[in-house]
Amino acid sequence: MAVAVVMDFEGATLDQYDQVIEKMGFKATGPGAPGGLFHWVTRTDSGIRVTDVWATREQFEAFAADKIGPITAAVGIPAPPTATYHDVHNYLTKG
């Protein structure tokens, strides 16, 4: 079942986010990781919020352990995100 993951990175900046994306080898509006269905980011009053939809929670958690955690630490993001999970009833894609 698809899962939405909302991650709040307190103290993080959009510049740090851009560094993370570059280190992961991704480009704006380009494809993401295998299993990732949708991704967006915004600045918040206290950091940044990343919202993803993944094919499965397991795929997200593997990617988070292998990529998100190590790379966000490498660019100086001060702490792991606060994450909330939501079961996805339906999602639409660009045709």
Q: Is 20 exposed, middle or buried (0-12, 13-18, 19+ CB in 10 A)?
A: buried
Per-residue model confidence (pLDDT) at position 2: 96
What domains appear along the chain, each with residue ranges and CATH number?
3-87 (3.30.70.100)
What does each of the 95 residues of the chain score in pLDDT, given as a tens digit?
A: 999 999 999 999 999 999 999 999 999 888 999 999 999 999 999 999 999 999 999 999 999 999 999 999 999 999 999 999 999 999 888 76
Whole-model pTM: value is 0.92
Per-residue model confidence (pLDDT) at position 13: 98
